[in-house]
Every structure is written in structure tokens, then in C-alpha cells.
Amino acid sequence: MDEIKELGASKAGSIHCLTIVGQIEGHQTLPEDAKATKYEHILPLLAAIEESPEIRGLLILLNTVGGDVEAGLAMAEMIAGMQTPTVSLVLGGGHSIGVPLAVAARCSMIAPSAAMTIHPVRLNGVVIGVPQTYNYFARIQERIVRFVTEHSRISREEYLRLMTNTDELANDVGSVLDGEEAVRLGLIDRIGGLSNALDWLHKRIES
């Protein structure tokens, strides 16, 4: 179970840290040996952070390798709807559903050596070859595209181009952006590390 951890107190209150790492486990249960963030644990933690008068800032550390789309979007919507100042910091990589999670925060940062992977929605298990299946995929993909473009500065056209790129990934469709490129394209707000993220939160709290 992921936990919130107090990092320290400012004059106005405490900053807490939430880690979202590995595969995000949702409706499909992963093997026991798979490192996973369980969204049903994260959602009540976010609600508790928002409700607590002592918690004045939230630092979200991200290092994701994909996972359940519905679970990831649920967490991203919760983060985007918070009044508590939030900053996300992508470390290592933000893969698939890690993209909407990163942009959901009030301010998004990425470490200089980190990268973000953008690709279309996938589905494991049985796929029924009927038009309804295609429509279902298209609707899920549209929800992700809309969320990302509404919570970042990247254009819809650019995001779709990156998502459907066929020239970069071997045996796959999509794109990998390093930190500087993610910032240049407007997907992430700025390059930064732990001290930068904490400084941003402290300034928001003290103001």
C-alpha cells in the first residue's frame, strides 16, 4: 500500500509526498510479484490530503510503466480537482497513463534524465472483433487526449502526432520524449529536481 509521508512543515503547514510507481493496478489484478500502485488505496489518500487543514502542499513522485487506464484517469481527475497546491515530478520515466498523471498537478516537472512515453491505448486479454470494440477504444483514447491537452500546453494535433508516430519505437507505435523535449512541446511545465519541486510548493504555501 502506498502511503503519504510528511516531508516537513513550513510556516503555513506541512508538505506531503505521494509516490505513484510501477504498474497502476485497477480492475485487472496483476501478479503478486509485480510492483504496482493500487488506485483504490490512492483515491482515499488524495481525499484525506485535500480535507486536512494541516496539509498545505502535495508532492507527487512519478515513475510509471503503464497500467489500468481507468484507474490512472481516476487518480488524475482526483489530482486535477484538488485545491491543495500540487506539483508532480517525473523521475526515470512516465509511461502511458503516467502522462495524464503528470499533467494533472498544478505544476509539472521532469528530471533532466527522465523521459515520457506516449502511445495509444492497449488492451490485454480477449478482444472481440466487432465495430463496438473499435468504438470503445476510440472513446477511451479521446478521454485521455482531451485530459492531457486540457491540463498542459501541448496542442491536440501535436499530441496525436506523437501518439501515432511509427518511426521511433521498434514493433510499436508512439514516441519517447526526453525531459527537455517534453518541456519544449508544452507537455510538461519545466525541467526540475526535488529541490525545485519543494521550492515551488513552499512559495505557494507561504503566499
pLDDT (tens digit per residue) in 84-136: 999 999 998 888 889 999 999 999 999 999 999 998 876 665 667 777 767 77
Distance of CA 51 to the CA centre of its chain: 22
Catalytic residue among 88, 95, 96, 108: 96
Segment 139-165 mean pLDDT: 93
Active site includes 16? no
With bands split at pLDDT 50, 70 and 90, how would you rate the model's confidence at 1? very low
Active site includes 27? no
Catalytic residue among 16, 88, 95, 119: 119
Question: What is the total residue count of the chain?
Answer: 207
- The stretches of 108-173 forming alpha helices (DSSP H) are 131-150, 156-163
- Domains in the chain: boundaries: 4-206
In degrees, rounded to 5, the angle at the alpha carbon of residue 204 between the alpha carbons of residues 77 and 116 is: 45
Domain 4-206 adopts which CATH fold? Answer: 2-enoyl-CoA Hydratase; Chain A, domain 1 (3.90.226)
Asked whether the predicted pLDDT for residue 33 surpasses 70, the reply is no
> Phi and psi at residue 194, in whole multiples of 5°?
-60, -45
Q: The pTM is what? A: 0.86
Q: Are strands 175-178 and 4-9 parallel, antiparallel or unpaired?
A: unpaired
Segment 157-162 mean pLDDT: 94
